[in-house]
Amino acid sequence: MYTFIKIATFFAHLGLVFAQSRITIDISETHQEIDGFGVSQAFTRAAEFEAMDPEPRQKGLDYLFNTTTGAGLTIIRNRIGSTSDDSILPQNPGSPDATPEYVWDGSDSSQVWFSKEAMKYGISTIYANAWSAPGYMKTNGNEANGGYLCGVSGRSCQSGDWRQMYANYLTQYVRFYAQEGIPVTHVAFLNEPDYVTSYSSMQSDGNQAASFIPILHEALETAGFGNVTINCCDAMGWPSQRTITSQLVAAGMEEYLGVITSHMYTGDPDSPMNTRLKTWQTEGCDLDSRWCTTWYSNGGLCEGMTWANKIHTGIVNAGLSAYLYWEGVEVNQFQASSYLVASDGTNVIPSGRLWAFAMWSLFVRPGAKRVGTSGSVNGVGVGAFQNTDGSVAVVFTNNGNSRQDVIIGFSGFAPSAGVAYLTDNKNSVAETESTIADGVVSVSVPGRAVVTVKLMGE
C-alpha cells in the first residue's frame, strides 16, 4: 500500500523558506538482499599494510572495519596469485593430467593476515578472485597479456585441456584458506576478461566462461566446498558485463553461479542486470587523481560525494547487493586516490570516499533487504533498507546545493527510536537532528551531503 503525498506546504525556518517533502517507506515491498561493502588489498598492498608499525596499522584496520570508529566494511576481495612468485602452483606440472605440486607459504602475500584481521571485526564475506590462470595453462603461455584458458570453447593448446586442472587449483586455494581457518565464501576465475594488459589478465567471453563454470562447480562440490559461491566475471564495466551475462544466462549458467560481478571503469551500474542472480560491483576507484580527502569540491572522481552518488545509483537503481572500492589502506602512495585510507607510516588519513562508504556500510548491514519507497525529494536519492534485526536505515544522498527537509512516513513499521548521521564538507558520520512524532520521522538533508537515519521499531 502506498501513500504518495507531496506536501505542498512551505514553512519558514530561521527566516528562510525551505521545501518540505514527504516520502513513505513500505516495509512489505522487498527488493534485493544486501551483502555489503568492501575493499581489496591485492598486489602487495596487504604486505605493505602488515609491515606497518602496530599502532598506525591498527588505526588503518579500524578505519576500514570498525563499526564505531570506521566504515564498518563487511567484504574483502583477495587476489588468487598467478605469477611464479605468488601462485600456489608455480611450477608447470608438465601436463594437465600430471599430479600438481602445490605450495603454500601460509601468507599468500599477507592476505591471510588481512583476512584474519578482518574476521576479528566479524567480516564473513571473503571473495577470492583469480586475475588469470598460471601461464602454462593458457594459450599465450603467460599469466599476463591476456590469452585464454586452454580448453575453453574455441581455444585449444598443444599441451592439452587445462580446465580441470584450473578448477582443481582454485579449489585447492580455497582448501588452503580453510586450513588457515578462513572460510572463503565466494570464488571467481576471471578478472576483467574484456581487457588485455601487461599484468595478470585472461580473456573470456560469456560462452567461454560457460565452458568452464560447471567444471569448477563440480570440483568445489566434490572437495566438500559446495558451500562456496562462484562469481563471474568482473568485467571492466556494467555494459560489457551485460553482454557476458546474457551469454551466461543463455547457456544456463545461473544454475551454477551465485553472483554476477562487474567493475565500473567503462560504465557504472545504473540499471538492473538481466539475471535472477545477485549482482555486485566488485572494483571501482579513481585511477586519475593524486591522494585527496575531499568530500565535495567540484564533483571530481576523488571526492566522497561522487562515490556517495555512485553507491546510491548502484544499490537503488541497479539493484546491487554489494559495492566495493579497489584498495583499502595504502602506505606512501600519495600519487593516487585508488584507495580509501592513506598512511605515511605514522599518520593514518581517511578520505571523504571512506566516509561515503561508511554512510552505507555502518547502517545497511549484511542480510538487509532494500524496501519500497514512494514520494520524492527534490535532487535527493532515497534508499531504504530493513536489517535482519528489524531496524530500518534510510540513506538520503543530496547531490543538489540546497537543503531539503524531509518527513518520512511508514507502512508496516512503527519507529520508536532513531538516530540520524550526516556526512558533508564539515561532518564525517556526525549525529544530526531528527525527530520522531506519531510514527513519522523528520530530518533535514543539507546540500552536497549524505544523511542516514537509523530507526528501531516498536
Ligand X SMILES: *[C@@H]1O[C@H](CO)[C@@H](O)[C@H](O)[C@H]1NC(C)=O
Answer yes or no whether residue 54 interacts with ligand X by CB under 6 A. Answer: no
What cell does 103 get? 605450495
Which residue of 141, 160, 183, 379 would you call a contact of ligand X, by CB under 6 A? 183
Which residue of 121, 195, 291, 334 would you call a contact of ligand X, by CB under 6 A? 121
Between 29 and 180, whose beta carbon lies closer to ligand X? 180
CB of 174: closest distance to ligand X in angstroms?
8
Residue window 222-251: x/- pattern of binding to ligand X, with contact defined by CB under 6 A: --xx-x------------------------
| Closest among 346, 426, 351 to 59, alpha carbons compared | 346
Q: Where are the beta strands (DSSP E) in 291-403?
A: 322-331, 339-343, 348-350, 369-374, 380-386, 392-398
Between 69 and 274, whose beta carbon lies closer to ligand X? 69
CA–CA distance, 31 with 371 (Å, rounded to integer): 6
Answer yes or no whether residue 172 interacts with ligand X by CB under 6 A. Answer: no
CB of 122: closest distance to ligand X in angstroms?
7
Q: Where are the beta strands (DSSP E) in 123-242?
A: 125-130, 186-188, 229-235
Answer yes or no whether residue 440 interacts with ligand X by CB under 6 A. Answer: no
CA–CA distance, 221 with 396 (Å, rounded to integer): 42
CB of 226: closest distance to ligand X in angstroms?
8
Bridge partner residues of 122 (DSSP): none
Answer yes or no whether residue 94 interacts with ligand X by CB under 6 A. Answer: no
Between 60 and 96, whose beta carbon lies closer to ligand X? 60
CA diameter of the chain? 80
Question: 86 near 23, Cβ under 8 Å?
Answer: no
Answer yes or no whether residue 185 interacts with ligand X by CB under 6 A. Answer: yes
Answer yes or no whether residue 345 interacts with ligand X by CB under 6 A. Answer: no
How does strand 186-188 pair with strand 229-235? parallel
Which residue of 62, 303, 327, 405 would you call a contact of ligand X, by CB under 6 A? 62
Answer yes or no whether residue 178 interacts with ligand X by CB under 6 A. Answer: yes
Answer yes or no whether residue 69 interacts with ligand X by CB under 6 A. Answer: yes
397-416 residues near ligand X, rule: CB under 6 A: none
Answer yes or no whether residue 66 interacts with ligand X by CB under 6 A. Answer: yes
Between 126 and 308, whose beta carbon lies closer to ligand X? 126
CB of 102: closest distance to ligand X in angstroms?
17
Q: Which residues contact 419 (CB under 8 A, 6 or more apart)?
A: 431, 434, 453, 454
Q: Which residues contact 244 (CB under 8 A, 6 or more apart)?
A: 193, 194, 204, 205, 206, 209, 232, 233, 235
Between 183 and 372, whose beta carbon lies closer to ligand X? 183
Between 100 and 183, whose beta carbon lies closer to ligand X? 183
What cell does 411 get? 507502512
Question: 408 near 453, Cβ under 8 Å?
Answer: yes
Question: 146 near 140, Cβ under 8 Å?
Answer: yes
Between 224 and 345, whose beta carbon lies closer to ligand X? 224
Answer yes or no whether residue 349 interacts with ligand X by CB under 6 A. Answer: no
What is the DSSP-derived secondary structure letter of residue 135?
G
Between 64 and 377, whose beta carbon lies closer to ligand X? 64
Site residues (vs ligand X, CB under 6 A): 62, 66, 68-69, 120-121, 178, 183, 185, 224-225, 227
